[in-house]
Structure 1
Amino acid sequence: MTMNTSNTQQEKIFQEYKPLLFSIAYSMLGSIMDAEDCMQEAFLQWYTADQQETIDNPKAYLCTLVTRRCIDRLRAAHAQRETYVGLWLPEPLIETADPSYLSELTESLSMAFLLLMEHLSPIERAVFLLRQVFDYDYAEIATIVGKSAENCRQIMHRARRHLPTQSNVSQTPPAQQQQVFTQFLQASINGDMDGLLHVLADEIVLYADSGGKVRAARNPLYGPDHVARYLLGLKQKFLSLFKLAVQPMIINRQPGLVGYLEEALDEKQLLHLELESREYIKQQLSWYQHALKKGEAVFAIVCTCTDTQIQEVDMIVNPEKLRHIPPLNAHDNDTITF
C-alpha cells in the first residue's frame, strides 16, 4: 500500500515546482496576484486530494490544476476585458521579484510576447504556451487541458494562424538592449527630440495602460515622431506638477524604468490646470498623495530593443498594476531625480 505524502514532503514538492507553476500562470494571465492565487488554490486542492489518494505525479497534477484555473479565469475575465478603459497591458514583473520565479521565465515571456497572447482564446493560449514555451508534448498537453492529442495539434495550428505574422519579441542580447535603452533614457531626460528620433525604430509603437484611472493615451501610438512628441510632452507636463525620481530596472527580462514621486503640488495648484474635471483632478491628487506618502511607483516603462533601436514602448500607469513594485529606494545609486 502506498503511503500518502507527508505535509513536509508536500511543501518541499510544491516549492520545487513553484517557479514552473508561476511561469505558466503569469504567462497565461499577465497578472502576478492572479498567478499566485492560482498556485495557492492548486496547492490546497492537491493537499486535500493527496490525503485521500496518493498522487503519483505531483508535477503533472499541479500543472493541470494551475492551467485549468487559468483557463477558467480568462473566460470569466472576458467581460471585464471588454469594458476595460483604454489598452490592456500585463502587470510588470520586476527583476527584484523572487529570483526562483524569474529563473523559469524565458526571453520569450516579454511584454511584447504576453501582448501577442491576447490574440488567442484561453484554450489556444494554454496549448500554445505549453507547447511553444514549456516544451510539453501533445500527449502531456492533452492530459492537462482535457482534450485529445490530435485536438491539441489542431488547436496549436489554429493558435499560430491567429497570431500576427510579425512581432516585436526581441532576440537581442541583454547587454545590447541595455545600451540602446540607456540612449533612450538619456534622450528622454534631456528632452532631446533628435536623440529620441535617432533611437526609435521606424516601426515603433507605444502602448499605455491606465485602466481609465489616470491620463494616458487610450490608443496605440505609431511612428517615431508621434511617440517622441508624446513622451517629451508627458515629461514636460509631469515635471511641471511633480518632482520625480526614476530607477532603471529590469522588467520582464527587458530594460525599463520605474517612476516615483518626491514632491507634489497641492490641490489649489492642480485645480488651476486645464485637465478634465475638478472631480477627476481630486481623484488623481488623492492617488498621487498616497503614492508619495508610501513611496509607491506611479508608472513603469518597458522597452523592446533591437541591436540599435527601440521597437516598442510599454507604459503602465494603472495604479492597480503597480502595487507589487518595490517602494522607492532613495539610496539606490542608479536613482535619477529631476
Structure 2
Amino acid sequence: MTASGDETFLAHRAVLLSIAYNMLGRVAEAEDCVQEAYLRWQRASQAEEGEAIASPQAYLRRVVANLCINRLQSAAARRESYVGVWLPEPLLEKEATPPGDTATEQSETLSIALLRVMESLSPVERAVFLLREVFERPYPEIARAVGKSEAHCRQLVHRAKERLALGQSRFSVSSDEHQRLALRFAEACASDDVHALVEVLANDVVLYSDGGEAREPVHHADAVARFILAGGGRLSQSASWSWRLARVNGKPGVVILVDSAVYAVFALEVRAGRIAEVDIIISPSKLSHLQA
C-alpha cells in the first residue's frame, strides 16, 4: 500500500463510516467494517488489481455495503429475539462523522426515528435504499455493489420508500423552533410538570425505548408524559442526575447524566411544531461509546 493509496482511503473514510453506521446502527461494528474494507483495499492495491480499483469510491462502497449486509444477515436471529423495541446507538454531534473531501462524498447521519423504521427492511433493501436515496449513487454502481440487476434495485428502492412512508423531511437540520421545543421538553421533565410536557407533545406521539419498562411502544401524549415523568421520579430518588440539550443524530435531543456519565439519550422527532416521537436509548451497551 502506497502513501497515495492510504490517502485515497482516508479521503473516503468518513462516508464509509456513515454508510456502515446507517446500515448497522452500531458504532463499533461500523468501525470494524470500515477497517476490514481498508484491509481489503490494501490487498487489492498490493495485487495491482487495476480493474477492481479503477473507481476507488465505488470499490470501497461496494465492500462496505456487502460487509454490512453479511453482518445484518448474521444478526437477524439476535434482532428477532430482542426484548422490546430495537433502537440504534445514538450519535451526538461531536461524534458525528465529518463530511467527505468532495461535494459528492458527503457523510450523512440518519435520525434515530428513521433508523428504527428501517429495521423493517431486509439487509439488501437497506443497502440499496441508503446508496440511492441517502448517498445518491447511480443505479449501475448500486447494482454491482449488491449483485442485483438495475431493474431489481429500482424495485427495491420503490418498495423501501413505500414501506418507510417517507413523507417527512428526513435529513433537515434542527431549526430554532425545534431547539426551543427540546428545551421546553427538558424543563418540563426536570420540573415534573405533566401539563407542560403534554403541551409540547403531539396528541398522537409515540414513545419507543430499548430498556426499562417500555417493552412495547407507548401511545398518546398523556400516557407518554406520565411514563417519562415516572421514570424521572425513580431516577431522582436514587442518584444525583442532570440533563443537557444535545443534537442526537442531527435532531434535537436531551442527554441524561448520572454522576457525569451518560445514563440515557432522548431523541426527539418534531413534526408540525410538536414532538411526534420520543426515542429513549438507555441500554448501557449502546451508550458506552459516549462515556469518554
Give me the TM-score of the superposition, normalised by structure 2: 0.91
2:165 equivalent to 1:136 = no
Residue matched to 1:24: 19
Distance 1:186 1:139 in 2: 50
Residue matched to 1:248: 245
* TM-aligned CA deviation for residue 125 of structure 1: 0.7
* TM-aligned CA deviation for residue 155 of structure 1: 1.8
Aligned residues: 285
Distance 1:225 1:73 in 2: 39
Identity of aligned residues (%): 39
Distance 2:176 2:10 in 1: 31
> Which has the higher Rg, Structure 1 or Structure 2?
1
Q: Secondary structure at the match of 2:92?
A: coil
2:59 equivalent to 1:61 = yes
Give me the TM-score of the superposition, normalised by structure 1: 0.79
2:12 equivalent to 1:11 = no
2:257 equivalent to 1:260 = yes
**Alignment partner of 1:299 out of 241, 264, 272:** 264
Q: Which amino acid aligns with 2:78?
A: Q
Distance 2:94 2:150 in 1: 38
Q: Secondary structure at the match of 1:87?
A: coil
Residue matched to 2:82: 84
Task: Out of 305-314 and 11-20, give the one that drifted further.
Answer: 305-314
Alpha-carbon spacing, 1:172–1:297, altered in 2? closer, same or farther (3 Å):
closer
* TM-aligned CA deviation for residue 194 of structure 1: 1.1
Does structure 1 retain, via aligned residues, the 8 Å contact 2:97–2:107?
A: no
Q: Deviations over 1:195-248 (max 9, x none)?
A: 1111100120100012xxxx3310100100100000111111111111102222
Does structure 2 retain, via aligned residues, the 8 Å contact 1:68–1:144?
A: yes
Distance 2:80 2:97 in 1: 34
Does structure 2 retain, via aligned residues, the 8 Å contact 1:170–1:304?
A: no
**Any residues of structure 2 matched to 1:1-338 within 5 Å, and which?**
6-53=1-48, 54=50, 55-97=53-95, 99-100=97-98, 104-106=106-108, 109-164=110-165, 169=170, 171=172, 173-210=174-211, 215-262=212-259, 295-327=260-292
- Return 5+ residue gaps in structure 1 as ranges: 1-5, 263-294, 328-338
Moved over 3 A (4+): 101-107, 164-173
